[in-house]
Amino acid sequence: MVKLRRNKTTRTLKRAYTRTARKVAGKSYIKKVPATQVHRYEFGDLKGEKECTKIVLYVRDPCVIRTNSIEAARKVIVGFFDKVFLSEKNKAHYIKILRYAHHIVRQHIFASGAGADRISQGMSHSFGKSGCVAIRFKSKNKPLIAIWISATPIQEEKIIKAIKCVRKKIGAQTYVQVERGLFKIGDIR
């Protein structure tokens, strides 16, 4: 099986022309739009307006982040929440991924081994094939993931530590902002 290409091949802001026609399929420049790997963008059981802690993960610089890294970050967060709230029945948290992946990343076909010269000759389709979907940040300091938790200070400290571990999965310059107060759950301002 072919392994996933490194993130440095896709993190530039250069936009590829990826027109997809709905009515006339012949006008499309790409054959298919790849599915996003993130399937749940909001989950948790906090609702309404509560006194809680809001943790927001911001992307510092303009970049492109693939959905596989967002899904890996989501799994790390959910795993840490399961560990921290293991003994409690009421898991008082709400997690929201704030950006949806629209950017289609195109990749050139690369072949190695016997018969590779037959595939690699010529540039009949120099724009490449659609490889994956990504989130494109065009400006600085944009929020990516927001978390609302109602927990003890010790649990909060563990969760903030988990969010700092998530920063390694993203593959971009990020920072974490923590606020305590009365918040409307799911609303980011």
Ordered domains of the chain (ranges, CATH): 40-101+137-180 (3.90.1170.10)
Q: How confident is the model at residue 174 (pLDDT cuts 50, 70, 90)?
A: very high
52 pLDDT above the threshold of 80: yes
* Tens digits of residue pLDDT in 153-173: 888 888 888 888 888 888 889
Cβ atoms 81, 165 nearer than 8 A: no
Q: What is the pLDDT of residue 124?
A: 55
Q: What is the dihedral of CA 173, 101, 143, 3, to 10 degrees?
A: -30
* Tens digits of residue pLDDT in 53-110: 899 999 999 988 989 899 999 988 888 888 777 666 556 788 899 998 888 887 766 6
Cβ atoms 52, 149 nearer than 8 A: yes
